[in-house]
């Protein structure tokens, strides 16, 4: 690989996975110059990357999607070999990956060390630790359980976010697929239930923001989900049924309100649902819909961070799209990272082929990878050698 191959000691790599988020001062700037600084550094790094390296950065997958094994709970030779072929941007863990706290810690830190040594760019190491029924780390390791979002308040949501961050950091994670910013609807999505902070949009927005700030202060990247809000969907979304039926004015005035604070506070990542939004593009999975992703989230709301798809092995997607077509459609819609494609190899090939035949401009890939690199720079997830070269190239 032409761009990567920066040698870093294993000790330094392990330390880097535990450092707190970056600051503008790391690039010699403050205040309004922060975003410009990170963008400039990211673009310099981008210039040294091949198309393949850039495309791989856009994928966020499980270890099993790399290895082909039924379960992966340690950094095996097959895991390492798979990473050499698929140097992705992020690794995501489920409960099945956790056999013990020590095994998880060793696997995560070994994988992250590999990324720093061989790519110079660290993996997003992610898990969904919301609290309540969704906290695989606490459940499998035997930690005291964090309460469900519905029982958190504006007084303690930030503290619970900080508690989640401390736990995740200890076990080698740097990203939490939380908070769930969906609104509770007693006649709506039973799969959300007490994962929602509230049926009141203002309270839900405040608690989601406080929880995310607790994560962020503790060194963990929060991911708001599931834009534009799926609490009202009254069908089995796990089976790929139902859609968001509200009108756009209704969505803007209620379900979308918790996401406004994410945009205003420059949250690093927002996940867009796969559930179709009838008001923007009927029968098209939300994260594959340009009117929703680019039209509303990017342009109307002005969001500048990383947009993550919902799981691309969701039935809303797989019922009508191949893995390659879904990946291309998500990028065309405006998404930056592709989460859990059903067939990783096919998805990567699909994106590369789309660029090579002109169905996707490489400049569109560059836009997404720049955002990904900015977020990783802000959280000290890029090798000092790479950061140093980027810093030297910035205007003095």
pLDDT in tens, the chain (396 residues): 434 333 232 222 323 333 333 333 343 333 445 556 888 889 999 998 999 999 999 999 999 999 999 999 999 999 999 999 999 999 999 999 999 999 999 999 999 999 999 999 999 999 999 999 999 999 999 999 999 999 999 999 999 999 999 999 999 999 999 999 999 998 877 789 999 999 999 999 999 999 999 999 999 999 999 999 999 897 666 667 789 999 999 999 999 999 999 999 999 999 999 999 999 999 999 999 999 999 999 999 999 999 999 999 999 999 999 999 999 999 999 999 999 999 999 999 999 999 999 999 999 999 999 999 999 999 999 998 887 776 676 666
Query: Is the separation of the CB atoms in 222 and 178 below 8 Å?
Result: yes
Q: What's the Cα-to-Cα distance from 374 to each of 11, 246, 247, 257, 328, rounded to whole Å? A: 24, 34, 34, 26, 22
For 26-88, list the strands marked E by DSSP: 59-61
Query: Is the separation of the CB atoms in 346 and 323 below 8 Å?
Result: yes
pLDDT digits (tens, 9 = 90+) for 157-187: 999 999 999 999 999 999 999 999 999 998 8
Q: What are all long-range contacts of 323-326, with beta carbons under 8 Å and residues at least 24 apart?
A: 323/347, 323/350, 324/349, 324/350, 324/351, 324/353, 325/350, 326/285, 326/288
The domain ranges of the chain are 10-393
For the chain, list the strands marked E by DSSP: 59-61, 90-92, 124-127, 175-176, 221-227, 269-272, 306-309, 338-339
Please give the CATH number for the structural domain made up of 10-393: 3.20.20.300
pLDDT digits (tens, 9 = 90+) for 66-97: 999 999 999 999 999 999 999 999 999 999 99
Query: Is the separation of the CB atoms in 323 and 312 below 8 Å?
Result: yes
How far is the C-alpha of 365 from the C-alpha of 332, rounded, in Å? Answer: 10
- Per-residue model confidence (pLDDT) at position 11: 26
- Per-residue model confidence (pLDDT) at position 385: 83
Q: Is the pTM of this model over 0.85?
A: yes
């Amino acid at each position: 690989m032409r761009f990567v191959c920066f040698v870093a000691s294993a000790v330094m790599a392990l330390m880097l996975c535990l450092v707190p988020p970056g600051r503008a001062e790391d690039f010699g700037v403050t205040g309004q110059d922060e975003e410009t600084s990170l963008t400039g550094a990211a673009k310099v790094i981008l210039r040294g990357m091949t198309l393949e390296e850039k495309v791989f950065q856009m994928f966020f997958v499980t270890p099993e999607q790399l290895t082909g094994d039924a379960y992966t709970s340690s950094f095996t030779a097959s895991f390492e070999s798979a990473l050499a072929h698929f140097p992705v941007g992020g690794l995501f863990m489920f409960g099945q990956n956790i056999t013990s706290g020590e095994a998880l810690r060793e696997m995560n830190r070994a994988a992250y060390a590999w990324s720093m040594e061989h790519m110079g760019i660290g993996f997003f190491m992610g898990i969904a630790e919301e609290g309540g029924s969704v906290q695989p780390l606490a459940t499998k390791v035997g930690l005291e359980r964090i309460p469900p979002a519905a029982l958190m308040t504006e007084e303690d949501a930030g503290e619970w976010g900080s508690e989640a961050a401390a736990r995740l950091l200890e076990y080698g994670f740097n990203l939490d697929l939380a908070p769930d910013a969906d609104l509770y609807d007693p006649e709506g999505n039973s799969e959300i239930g007490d994962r929602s902070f509230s049926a009141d949009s203002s309270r839900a927005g405040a608690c989601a923001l406080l929880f995310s700030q607790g994560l962020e202060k503790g060194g963990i990247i929060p991911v708001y989900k599931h834009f534009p809000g799926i609490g009202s969907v009254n069908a089995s979304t796990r089976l790929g049924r139902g859609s968001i039926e509200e009108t756009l004015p209704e969505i803007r005035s209620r379900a979308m309100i918790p996401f406004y604070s994410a945009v205003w506070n420059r949250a690093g990542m927002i996940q867009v649902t796969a559930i179709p939004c009838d008001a923007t593009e009927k029968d098209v999975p939300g994260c594959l819909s340009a009117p929703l992703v680019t039209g509303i989230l990017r342009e109307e709301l002005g969001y500048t961070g990383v947009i993550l798809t919902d799981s691309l092995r969701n039935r809303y997607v797989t019922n009508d799209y191949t893995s390659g077509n879904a990946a291309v459609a998500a990028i065309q819609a405006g998404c930056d990272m592709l989460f859990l494609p059903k067939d990783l190899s096919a998805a990567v090939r699909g994106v590369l082929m789309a660029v090579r035949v002109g169905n996707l401009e490489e400049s569109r890939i560059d836009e997404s990878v720049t955002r990904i690199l900015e977020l990783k720079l802000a959280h000290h997830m890029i090798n000092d050698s790479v950061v140093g070269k980027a810093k030297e190239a910035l205007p003095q």
